[in-house]
Structure 1
Amino acid sequence: MSGFSYGFTVTQRAKSVKQPRGGYLKPKSFVAVSLGEGLDELNPVENVPASLVGMSVDYLSRFLSGTRLEEAFKPSLKGSVVSHHAEEADRLLRGVTGLDDASITNAVKLTGFDVCFRVGPQLYKPVEEIQPDTSTIENIRVMVNRTLHFLDVYGPKILDGFTFEGGYSDVIVNGDGDFLTADTLWDLKVSKNPIKKEHTLQLLMYWRMGLRSVHPEFRNVRYLGIYNPRLNVASRIEVSQIPDDVIDAVEKDVIGYAE
């Protein structure tokens, strides 16, 4: 496998690899369905980084759809250990009980530890400086409720926050997925923008890695999907529609599986 770089996360690899024109898995090939009110019904300005808003929506949705709190915020808790702030993170975690203002504020602060786990403690910024305002809190509450409705429509979930033991390669060494329902692998994207080819490649990588992982549930996947609670749109493609040569190219040239 000469010519490969090593040690990527799924997201890093999806962003860095050169794709064919239009992408390996073209965003326009996904069928989009609106689940109700979208971007126009949200407050236009948020005062914390979009990445923290996205993780807060994701983790709160996992918790409020039945996952244990410690599991839902597992990456954040791991980051707090790396940055030697485990006691502070535990206090914040105990303050997450639902979708009241205090719970959402604590959840957003908690996600400030994620970067320590995903990138490194050198990027840690004091989480006490993260103070979501009313507009941000309201948006997170609406988007979590939208995600819970989405899971009512397309779920229930059978896995969330899963990793891919058995499916990693020398090239891809880390990465975790969002939601798996009975027949669909879902990625959550909290963005104002339409689906990008980096998003669809990431999803395709998750599927192929999942099939080699310790999770037998991936054998039942018939669709790949992206749900965006900011736009309130669910987009899916049947895996039977994905050409074999595209799957082969992604497995070999992107993930780095041997022949």
Structure 2
Amino acid sequence: MKEENVTTVARNSKLLPLSKIVSTSKFQKISYHSDNIGSLALEDENISYTSTGTLIDFLTRMIVLNDNNALGISLRGLAEMANKQQKAEYLYKAAMFKTLTKDTEIDELNDDVFNLGLDICAWEQAIRGGHYVSPQAYPNETTIIHYKIMLKRAKAYLEKIGNIIRTGYVSATKNGLISGDGDYLSPDTLIDFKVSKFTTMQPNWVRQLFLYRVLLRDELVSPDQIKKLMIYNPRRDEGFLLDLTQINPNILDFVKTQAEKRSLY
């Protein structure tokens, strides 16, 4: 079998039917009300939703959490796919990004921060998608305004959660042929960011969270320590929460068994 990403496997409703896991309605919806702005319209932005999601996650780690490991995935893409000139350009842009964001409040971020962030994240998307595509556009004024609002919401949310002990954790099958990079771990909660216009929990998100949980490989947190699964959406300032202690533990075994079987074929 060729390698697959957890996100791709999570789209497979035949492999992981929600009737054998949990329905989307089992997740509790939470509104955080960090501001009075409401949902941010995707249609008013000029950057694709996939690039926006990758960028907001990267900016949250770098600017809100001061996590230099946020460069890790893009550096992997760079090492495997870039030529000498591209590597030199990346290193220059990464250094510029760090200089422009050091000790800078979110509202004061220069537009170049978001442009450089997209350039860096293109290599993160390359390692996940299998090929590199340079950014075809950079954020316009409205998009940057939205990005700053989402970053402030992410900051407020993470302050409420507290004690994030891992960013960019890894989940994988025993043979490593199905793997994924998740977003955040607290001592008992697995958290994934979704910069989405959806107002309800999505089936693919359910499967993705369960796969991240049962395939978790981390020296700080074992899968059994994770008692809650959570989505946070900074576009809508909303979350979805599932308490795993309230479900049949056989569900977790089913998801893990299905994933491991899938990785063999």
Common topology (TM > 0.5): yes
Give the Å deviation of 1:9: 1.2
Does the Cα contact within 8 Å between 1:169 and 1:255 map onto a contact in 2?
yes
Does the Cα contact within 8 Å between 2:196 and 2:236 map onto a contact in 1?
yes
Amino acid at match of 1:27: T
Does the Cα contact within 8 Å between 1:39 and 1:192 map onto a contact in 2?
no
- Comparing 185-194 with 13-22, greater Cα deviation is found at 13-22
Percent identical? 23
Q: Within 5 Å, which residues of 2 pair with 1:81-96?
A: 81=79, 82-84=81-83, 85-96=86-97
Distance 1:38 1:192 in 2: 14
1:196 aligns with 2:202: yes
Amino acid at match of 2:159: D
Q: Would you say how many aligned residue pairs link Structure 1 and Structure 2?
A: 246
Q: Within 5 Å, which residues of 2 pair with 1:25-104?
A: 25-36=22-33, 37=36, 39-41=38-40, 44-69=43-68, 71-81=69-79, 82-84=81-83, 85-96=86-97, 97-98=100-101, 99=106, 100=109, 101-104=111-114
Gaps of 5+ in 2: none
Residue 148 of structure 1 is aligned with which of 152, 155, 161?
Answer: 155
**Aligned in 2, Cα 1:111/1:39: closer, same or farther, shift over 3 Å?**
farther
1:7 aligns with 2:8: no
Does the Cα contact within 8 Å between 1:76 and 1:113 map onto a contact in 2?
yes
Give the Å deviation of 1:155: 1.8
Does the Cα contact within 8 Å between 1:251 and 1:257 map onto a contact in 2?
no
Deviations, residues 82-137 of structure 1 (Å, cap 9, x unaligned): 1322222222212323341221221122212223211223xx2233x331111111
Amino acid at match of 1:161: G
- Comparing 105-114 with 249-258, greater Cα deviation is found at 249-258
Distance 2:262 2:43 in 1: 43
TM-score calculated relative to the size of structure 1 = 0.85
TM-score calculated relative to the size of structure 2 = 0.83
Distance 2:182 2:251 in 1: 21
Give the Å deviation of 1:197: 1.2
Distance 2:154 2:29 in 1: 16
Amino acid at match of 1:8: E
Residue 257 of structure 2 is aligned with which of 231, 237, 252?
Answer: 252
Gaps of 5+ in 1: none
**Aligned in 2, Cα 1:38/1:204: closer, same or farther, shift over 3 Å?**
farther
**Aligned in 2, Cα 1:54/1:87: closer, same or farther, shift over 3 Å?**
same
Does the Cα contact within 8 Å between 1:95 and 1:102 map onto a contact in 2?
no
Residue 221 of structure 2 is aligned with which of 217, 220, 223?
Answer: 217
Give the Å deviation of 1:38: 6.0
